[in-house]
Structure 1
Amino acid sequence: MTRPARWHGALWAALMMFAVSGGQAAPVSDVPTVNGISLYDTPALPPDFNHFPWVNTQAPKGGDMVRAAMGSFDSLNPFIIRGDPASGLTAFGGLPFDTLMVESPDEPFTLYGLLASGIRLDPDRRWMEIDLDSRARFHDGSQVTAEDVVTTFETLETQGSPMYRAYYADVTDVEVISPFTVRFEFSEHNSRELPLILGQLPVLSARDIKRRDMTRPTLDPLMGSGPYRISTVQPGQRIVYQRDDDYWGKDLPVNRGRYNIDRLIFDYYRDPSVALTAFRAGRVDLRIETIARNWMTGYDFPAAREGLIQRIEIQDHTPAPMQGFVMNLRRDVFKDRRVRQALGLAFDFDWLNRNLFYGLYSRTHGFFDHSSMEAKGLPDDAERELLAPWRDQLPEEVFNTPLPIKAPQALRPRLKEALELFRKAGYDVRNNRMVNQKTGQPLRFELLLNSSGIERMALPMVRNLARLGIEVNLRTVDSSQYLVRLRQFDFDMTTTVIAQSTNPGNEQREYWGSEYADQPQSRNLAGIASSAVDDLVNHIIRADSRKALDTAASALDRVLRWGFYVIPQYHSPVTRLAYWKKIAMPDQNPEYGLDPDSWWIDPQKARQINARQE
């Protein structure tokens, strides 16, 4: 399951938590009413907890925090594929929107009520009833009701991104039980995490939905009920979120010590180097540094030497994201598995890490690295049981060759191995060009990118492929054109980042499912259409224990890796933050993620820094 983010990007998940009861409706079933649910265990926090353990309840309110966003934006509707939504808005809502429940980054996967003041979950997970907090208000002052929940759900499912249809596929019915109670019915073989997926539903105003076309991008803010309102919009340049002093939930236990900063500002930059220059000049307050060279050499400037800049590395305890070159199987050139495997051998991670990345990165091997779901060695008996029905459809290596896949470290033997694979796939080198042995057609394709920074990483692989006689056209386009082409699968090869949570679920359908292979705008970029993969995804979704989930995910990881659909690149075991010291943080972070909403602006240090910059 992917985690919702109030802040732009997976690393900036601002994960709202638990709400106390307020005007709770009378229960309509004899199932106990609770304030939190978990995937397998009981929520760790007691019903009467006062605030999150890591927050500073005495944190001062006020101040601004400016972040740099890259590219541009043209929409304030994050729930559809069309348009490029502004930073601070996500498919799970973002800063202006409250959700029914929110995830705790201090627990592997537990949700507590936010708009929901009470939850009744069928022991067999066939239905769930949610009581809304009658104090909840939208930004126009109107109450949040069960009708708003149902209208939002139906709108996202029918008019929103295909992701929602994948997430909510096993919801058979949703109905208003009372003005503040809604009931969801689930199919018999639904995902165990489906109640938690629904808990992440951002609730919009039904009245606001009915007055607009929800399928179109818009610069007219959608009506939310969250802690921030959109106050300034300069399309493609800047968006400002203003803390709402009248936010209905500001005194809930989950929110104490959080949402302290008055204004959250995203300024847009076209060039990453210009964004770094803006940070050095004090025009940007915070950076997530993703470029190794910058981290090692880019922070030697006067303010840093004066001790006004803090740099920290935070260990990441979630599965490593799969960043890689994804091949479009809808193109004939990539249909042969041996060709895909051979292309991957031309990616020389060791050279890149040594010469470009200062040794700061680790090689990514699979789709659940650094987790209990990662496939290792040979499949155990439980995995084999899942894989056995598909033996005639899967490569023999899935069953008899240990992972990780061993390849020569030195480039020359790697290219020699790649050349042999190309020949087995029906290609040969003639006049320094890799051509099809039967048709004489050259092996060539386009590598589509959206950042000049990625070019630097991609060029060595392009050069290595050229040594094999393969022509790769490296094409970099702006973010808007890039999104359009991805949504229509109009690419040969491109880069992708597939982030996994500690509890994958329904989103795996859209990543890998046959149903989404030819559905424009889906996240199955590779175009995988495999009955074996579909079956393993269903086992993940329907896992009834942690062990069953790990087994199914490991089997899926194994099949995807031996399919060579993606050329894995690299990941960082830490998150690297650089910020001006006017930003203050609690003494501890939650175990499974950052909580930027618990940060605040130190007034004294802010005055000191502002005086220096004047």
Structure 2
Amino acid sequence: MAAAAAPFAGRVAFAAAPTDVPLHGLSAFGDLKYPPDFTQFGYANPDAPRGGTFNFQPGYWYYNQNVLTFNTLNSFVRTGDAPPRMEMCFDSLMVGAWDEPDSLYGLVAETVTISADRNSFTFRLRPEASFHDGSPLTAEDVAFSYNLLKEKGHPQLALVLSEMVAAEATDKHEFRLVFFGKQSERTVSTAVQFPILSKASLEGRSFDSSSLEPLLGSGPYKVGRFSAGRYIEYDRVEDYWARDLPVARGLYHFDRIRIDFYRDRNAAFEAFKKGEALWREEFTSRVWATGYDFPALHKGQVVRREFPEERVADMQGWALNQRRARFRDPRVREAISLCFDFEWTNRNFFYGLYERSVSAFQQSDFMAEGLPSAEELALLERFRGQIPEAAFGEAVTPPASNGSGRDRDLLGRARELFMEAGWQPKGRLLHNEAGEPFTLEYLVRDEVFVQVSTPFIENLRAIGVDASIRLIDASQYQLRLTSFDFDMVGVRFSLGATPTRDSLELVFHSRSASVEGSRNLPGTADPAIDGLIEIAGRATSRDELIVALRALDRVLRARRDWIPNWHSPSHRVAYWDVFGFKEPKPDYFFPVEALWWYDEEKARAIGKA
């Protein structure tokens, strides 16, 4: 293969990668697992059959995507609601390996060369790369894409490119990406995975508006049939230009990927029970514990199984919007968090299936525990006087309740904190000096959150907060989330196996606090947090990164920007027994639609062929 013939300087860490030498891959820390002459990733299966339809209900999404509805096919802008998996229609310069925490290998780019000052990256493109209409994918398209995404792309794309000074085609098959010099060492590891768009196909079209005309892509799938808000099908590209490259070989087996959209979880579950959807990750513990009692499961047609979660920094919790003055006092945020009784909720709603979350880096080495290490303390001391004193002690952890659902001690402490913050009782409600009551509206888009969170809201009311839950439709929810028009919302996100400065900035940095569409939902804007993110971005070893992120975690938890709630240590999955897959699953990503395949013999055995 062409990549194997390129010069290679050895298996080295990206932070210490040689300059002025073409490389087949990059790794933030440590060795690359796969050498220049590798033929496939270890989790891929080139012998798997191709065919069949994978009709499923996605459990994760990117950018402006929405799992409940869609009204645009442009997934890379802030406006509109796009369907999940649109990203599978587009290729990128490089792709990550799902069994390594921080490595990248060439897709459209055959090699990458780092300049001596490490601010410029030159990519030699594969001449065979092409778009779905047969037109060649050239360096002009790559340069056009990066400049367009910086100017008009979704904030999760544009913010990463803020330090980009140039994206230029130096010849037909050579592209150079240049940064100011203030970027993180690992900024490029995020940027090289951005979608490549066709310059010619976008001429005369408005990019930053909603449209149901698909963008021209070059990836393993393309948009097939769809009905806005109801369903979408992605058809496998038979003559996909990269199908035999080592980064794609043995992946993307299904002829068709179909997503049906349901506004109601019960309707989605009923569709699965009937076999209209074939794969489902169950996020409702009640259904997992009691709902899988139907004929197809008893007959062995449906399999119920748990797969281990990925080894990545994961967070689920509530964001309190500090752009609204009443949520800016950390005592108020702590008081609100004390009204959530996890122990009661887990027993009565979750059948004991969840564990309490405490950190934005849950289930990873980056989560702080106990007292700070000497190395963590050295970092924290730089910010003494700027960060809460609690960050220097035991890692802040939500107190366990007595499990009664209304722990009088915790609710009493919550009311005291409100009063310390200047909110005094007047009648049944807490008021500030201006006589305004403390109000809190929890914004949700699914009835299940109303049921689960009502006891939380009732506890808030019991201590004098005028609290309520507002259920709105999926499109309105997305719009209000994007424009930060909420008091409190729930969210789940992942910072990946190796968080970069860019991913951290999108969630925690003051630079993203005012950028609509960013993931900085609480509006965190703290110079100390910014400083710790900068230190993490400069880490040159995984050990350095662990120290920096544990210090950051301590400060975030002491500030109480987020109220962590719960997590599951595994994927709870049910599927009709018509699939084949390779075990074990990759440690760092689980895109079933790219890994599994349709097994006709199994399908025939259960009458689904």
**TM-score category of the 2 structures, normalised to the smaller one:** over 0.9
| SS of equivalent to 1:254 | coil
Structure 1 residue 170, shift from structure 2 partner? 2.7
Structure 1 stretch displaced more, 153-162 or 309-318: 309-318
Q: Which string of whole-angstrom CA distances, capped at 9 and with x for unpartnered residues, describes residues 551-583 of structure 1?
A: 211111111111112211101010111110112
Deviation at 1:384, TM superposition (A): 2.7
Question: Do the aligned residues in 2 keep the contact of 1:103 with 1:110 (CA within 8 Å)?
Answer: yes
Query: In 1, are the aligned partners of 2:55 and 2:278 still within 8 Å (CA)?
Result: yes
Alignment of 1:476 with 2:465, yes or no, is no
TM-score normalized with structure 2 length: 0.92
Relative contact order: is structure 1 or structure 2 higher (C-alpha 8 Å, sep ≥ 6)? 1
Q: Is the 8 A contact 2:106 2:247 kept in 1?
A: no
Give the SS at the match of 2:118: coil
SS at the partner of 2:36? Answer: coil
Q: Deviations over 1:189-224 (max 9, x none)?
A: 421212211220211111112231111111111011
Question: CA separation in 1, counterparts of 2:160 and 2:492?
Answer: 19
Q: Distance in 2 between matches of 1:498 and 1:587?
A: 26
1:51–1:253 contact (8 Å) kept in structure 2: yes
Question: How far 1:144 sits from its partner (Å)?
Answer: 0.8
Which whole-Å CA distance do the structure 1 matches of 2:395 and 2:80 have between them? Answer: 44
Structure 1 SS opposite 2:250: coil
Aligned to 2:495: 500
Shift of 1:95: 1.4
1:428 to 421, 424, 427: 424
Match of residue 208, structure 1, among 196, 201, 207: 201
Residue 232 (structure 1) shift: 0.8
| Contact 2:310–2:590 (Cα < 8 Å) also in 1 | no
Pairwise CA distance, 1:406:
4.1
Cα distance in 2 for partners of 1:55, 1:400 equals 45
Asked if 1:333 corresponds to 2:326, the answer is yes
Superposition pairs of residues 233-248 of structure 1, within 5 angstroms: 233-248=226-241
Name 2:457's counterpart in structure 1: 462
How far the C-alpha of 1:522 sits from its partner, in A, is 2.3
Match of 2:552 among 549, 556, 559: 556
Identify which of 72, 75, 90 aligns with 1:75. 72
1:180 aligned residue: 173
Q: Does 1:372 align with 2:365?
A: yes
Structure 2 portions without partners, runs of 5+: 10-17, 59-66
- 1:592 equivalent to 2:588? Answer yes
Q: Distance in 2 between matches of 1:516 and 1:252?
A: 37
2:49 is aligned to: 60
- Cα deviation code 1:420-467 (max 9, x no counterpart): 21221122333322223x333222221111111111121110011111
Question: What amino acid maps onto 1:87 in structure 2?
Answer: P
Q: 1:40 to 1:500 in 2, by over 3 A?
A: same
Q: Of 226, 242, 247, which residue of structure 2 is paired with 1:249?
A: 242
Distance apart, 1:417 and its partner CA: 1.3
Show the 5 A alignment for 1:45-56.
Answer: 45-56=34-45
The AA in structure 1 aligned to 2:475 is S
2:14 alignment partner in structure 1: none
Note the C-alpha offset of 1:351: 0.5
Give the alignment partner of residue 37 of structure 1, picking from 26, 32, 36.
26
1:519 paired residue number: 515
Q: Distance in 1 between matches of 2:608 and 2:173?
A: 51
- Matches of 2:428 and 2:23, distance apart in 1: 69
> What is aligned with 2:543?
547
Any idea what SS the aligned residue of 1:192 has?
coil
For 2:101, the equivalent position in structure 1 comes to: 108
1:383 corresponds to which residue? 376
**Deviation of the 1:146 alpha carbon:** 0.6
Shift of 1:158: 0.2
Distance in 2 of aligned mates of 1:135 and 1:592: 30
Instruction: Answer with 204-213 or 226-235: which moved more.
Output: 204-213
Superposed CA offset, 1:312-360 (max 9, x none):
2111242352211211111122121111101100000000111110111
Q: What is the CA distance between 1:124 and its match in structure 2?
A: 5.5
Which residue in 1 is equivalent to 2:15?
Answer: none
| Aligned counterpart, 1:21 | 3
State the match for 1:9 in structure 2. none
In 2, Cα distance between the equivalents of 1:41 and 1:26? 16
Instruction: Letter of the 1:306 partner, please give it.
Output: K
- Quote the Cα distance in structure 2 between the aligned partners of 1:121 and 1:52: 24
Deviations 1:525-564 (A, max 9, x none): 1111111111111112222221221121111111111111
**AA of the residue aligned to 1:514:** S
Structure 2 residue matching 1:95: 3-state secondary structure: helix
Distance 1:265 1:363, change over 3 A: same
Return 5+ residue gaps in structure 1 as ranges: 1-18
- Tell me if the contact between 2:95 and 2:247 (Cα under 8 Å) persists in the aligned partners: no
Check conservation: 2:4, 2:36, Cα contact below 8 A.
no
Give TM-score, length-normalised by structure 1: 0.92
The Cα of 1:25 is off from its aligned counterpart by 12
- From the superposition, tell whether residues 471 and 422 of structure 1 become closer, same or farther in structure 2 (CA, over 3 Å): same
CA shift in 2, pair 1:511/1:263, >3 Å: same
The correspondence of residues 325-364 of structure 1 with structure 2, limited to 5 A, is 325-364=318-357
1:538, 1:355 → 2: CA distance?
43
Once the two structures are TM-superposed, the CA of residue 121 in structure 1 deviates from its matched residue by 2.5
CA contact (8 A) 1:170 1:191 kept: no
C-alpha contact 2:343 2:401 (8 A) present in aligned 1? no
Q: Deviations over 1:135-167 (max 9, x none)?
A: 111001011111111000000000111222321
Which amino acid letter does the alignment assign opposite residue 379 of structure 2?
L
Paired position in structure 1 for 2:563: 567
Q: Distance in 2 between matches of 1:610 and 1:267?
A: 22
Range moving further from structure 2, 139-148 or 37-46: 37-46
Change (3 A) 1:26 1:50: closer
Are residues 1:510 and 2:506 paired? Answer: yes
CA contact (8 A) 1:148 1:204 kept: yes
CA contact (8 A) 1:115 1:133 kept: yes
Contact 1:293–1:357 at 8 Å: present in 2 too? yes
Residues of 2 paired with 1:534 and 1:211: CA distance? 40
Structure 2 residue matching 1:321: 3-state secondary structure: strand
**Once structures 1 and 2 are overlaid, which stretch shifts more, 504-513 or 231-240?**
504-513
* Contact kept in structure 2, 1:319 and 1:370, CA below 8 Å: yes
Tell me if structure 2 keeps the 8 A contact 1:170–1:190: yes
| Whole-angstrom CA distance in 1 between matches of 2:188 and 2:103 | 11
| Distance (whole Å) between structure 2 residues aligned to residue 24 and residue 124 of structure 1 | 22
After superposition, the C-alpha distances for 1:245-280 in whole angstroms (9 at most, x for unaligned) are: 111111222222211110101111111101101111
Contact 1:102 1:111 in 2 (8 A): yes
Q: SS of the residue aligned with 1:358? A: coil
Find the residue that maps to 1:420 and give its secondary structure: helix
Larger displacement relative to structure 2 (169-178 or 443-452): 169-178
| Offset at residue 71 of structure 1 (A) | 1.7
Whole-Å separation in 2 of the counterparts to 1:137 and 1:416: 64
Give, as a single letter, the amino acid of the residue that structure 1 aligns with 2:85. G
Counterpart of 1:318 in structure 2 is 311
CA contact (8 A) 1:317 1:591 kept: yes
| Identity score, percent | 37
Question: Given that residues 305 and 573 in structure 2 are in contact (C-alpha distance below 8 angstroms), is that contact kept between their aligned partners in structure 1?
Answer: yes
The farther-off stretch of 375-384 and 109-118 is 375-384
Give distance in 2, aligned partners of 1:26 and 1:219.
44
What secondary structure, in the 3-state scheme, does the structure 1 residue paired with 2:3 have? coil
CA distance in 2, matches of 1:25, 1:378: 47
Q: 1:4 corresponds to which residue?
A: none
Q: Could you tell me whether the CA contact under 8 Å between 1:432 and 1:469 is conserved in 2? A: yes
CA distance in 2, matches of 1:190, 1:567: 30
Which of these residues, 509, 524, 530, is aligned with residue 528 of structure 1?
524
